[in-house]
Amino acid sequence: MDCYLKVYGCQMNAADAHLVSRLLQDAGIREVEVSAEADAVVLLTCSVRQHAEDRARGFARTMRGEGKKVIVAGCMGQLRGEELIKEGIADFALGPDEYRRIPDILLGSRELSEVEGLETYSDLLPVDTGGVSASQAIIRGCENYCTYCVVPYARGRERSIPYQAFERQVRHLVDTGVKEIFLLGQNVLAYKHDNLRFIDILERVAGIDGVERIGFLTSHPRDLDYETVQRMAAIPELLHFFHLPLQSASDRVLGMMNRGYTVSDYAERVNWVRRAFPDAYLTTDILVGFPGETREDFEITLDAMERFQFDFAYMFAYSERSGTEAARMENQVPVSERQKRLATLIEKQSEITRLRSQRWVGRSEELFVTAPAPRGEGMLTEMKNHRSVILNHTARPGERVRAKLVGVSGWSVLAEPAVKEVV
Ligand code: 5AD
Ligand code: SF4
């Protein structure tokens, strides 16, 4: 039985794919690199926007057409499972808490494993991907119920991974050569277990031998407090990288989205971060065309992009998700208008991103080497703030190299190694 894994969507899905790989390995099922060689295909799907669902459906249909067994797992498996099976697109559908059943299905077991309602997978040791950077979930699920978002329905209630189990997973990663760990969750700041909060976990992980760099994704701006930022600044291993999804800069729209903060609350948090980390790499998510968003609301967001000067933004046109509160709202913005607003926003932010990238040029930085550069020569590296840089030099992943940032090409910052003095 050879199996091919295909991943859609967010970082959490990418991390879930590693859980599935572990389950496959433990069951003696071989994972193959190309779908043509597989007997079965497991899709880790995303339902956050229609486009992601359409892509997964298309791929599943093709695989079914080629006679492969198709398991649709993850968010779309949870939300649209019955429908997919009825339509003949999937043989099996499983939600994010049911991955343990994948090997049973592939091996044709008559009985499927018992699954808990709220899984943490905290007993599973991460697979060795050969990389120096890895991600590991510290909390699963979401119960914020932003009115546009389907995630709380697909991934269920928040549950934190007990620290002992998490530490075991991190130590295992370090043993396989990992030096940089990203703590993952839909909202890591909601972590709560045994009287420990997220900042306590960060401090503890920083103390684990062999952990050189720590990052985290994603944080809900509402849950970021001043004390946390101050304690973060005292962790030398922490990357100066903050992904704080703003979504909209109109308080009226933020209210309808149920985000729990105003734009001035958000600005205050950005100030804390930038004061504590002057070289912070700050990124965000923006959603345009939410039901009831007026042209004026949109202009407010557009102006705010200028003010906040994000280093990068993930920008989306609102996509109606059945079952969510926003899908039932009146005043849905016409799709063509959503697309127009998105194009305007992207144009504006692209220029800001370009100018923000320029500000690194001329600096001398210690770069952490992660992998060979995807195109051409050199190595992919990152600064202390997680901004990626292409280094024109050969070096081993995991090494640190002092280099001069010499220019920008497209999205990439380019670096040359600092010249060693020859005596
Ligand atoms: N339509 C468009 N974008 C969405 N997001 C979440 N739900 C939707 C939706 N219904 C975006 C948000 C979130 C990111 C992961 O995806 O910006 O932060
Ligand atoms: Fe969705 Fe909001 Fe939860 Fe993020 S915090 S996953 S946007 S409901």
What pLDDT, in 10s, does the model give residues 295-330?
999 999 999 999 999 999 999 999 999 999 999 999
Residue 318's SS3 state is coil
What digits encode the pLDDT tens for the residues 117-141? 899 999 999 999 999 999 999 999 9
Query: What is the CATH number that goes with domain 133-358?
Result: 3.80.30.20
Ligand 1, pocket residues at CB < 6 Å? 48-49, 148-149, 245, 247, 285, 287, 316, 318-319, 321
For the chain, give every residue range classified as CATH 2.40.50.140: 364-417
Q: Are 318 and 361 in contact (CB under 8 A)?
A: no
- CATH (residue range 2-106): 3.40.50.12160
Question: How far is the C-alpha of 246 from the C-alpha of 285, rounded, in Å?
Answer: 6
- pLDDT of residue 116 exceeding 90, the answer is no
Q: What is the pLDDT of residue 420?
A: 58
CA of 267 relative to ligand 2 center, distance in Å: 20
pLDDT higher than 60, residue 423: no
* Burial category of 278 from C-beta neighbours within 10 Å (exposed 0-12, middle 13-18, buried 19 and up): exposed
The dihedral region occupied by 362, where left means phi > 0, alpha psi between -120 and 50, and beta the remainder, is left
Rounded average pLDDT over 392-399: 95
Cβ–Cβ under 8 Å, residues 283 and 312 = yes
Q: How far is the CA of 268 from the centre of ligand 2 (A)?
A: 21
- Alpha-helical runs (H) found in 284-359: 295-308, 335-358
* CA of 25 relative to ligand 1 center, distance in Å: 33
Q: Is the shortest distance between the CB of 69 and ligand 2 below 6 Å?
A: no
CATH T-level topology, domain 364-417: OB fold (Dihydrolipoamide Acetyltransferase, E2P) (2.40.50)
Query: Which of 139, 149, 188 maximizes ligand 2 atoms within 8 Å of its Cβ, making it the mutation to test the pocket?
Result: 149
The residue type of 194 is D
Task: In the chain, list all ranges with CATH 3.40.50.12160.
Answer: 2-106
Which ligand is located closest to the Cα atom of residue 142? Answer: 2
- pLDDT tens sequence across 14-59: 999 999 999 999 999 999 999 999 999 999 999 999 999 999 999 9
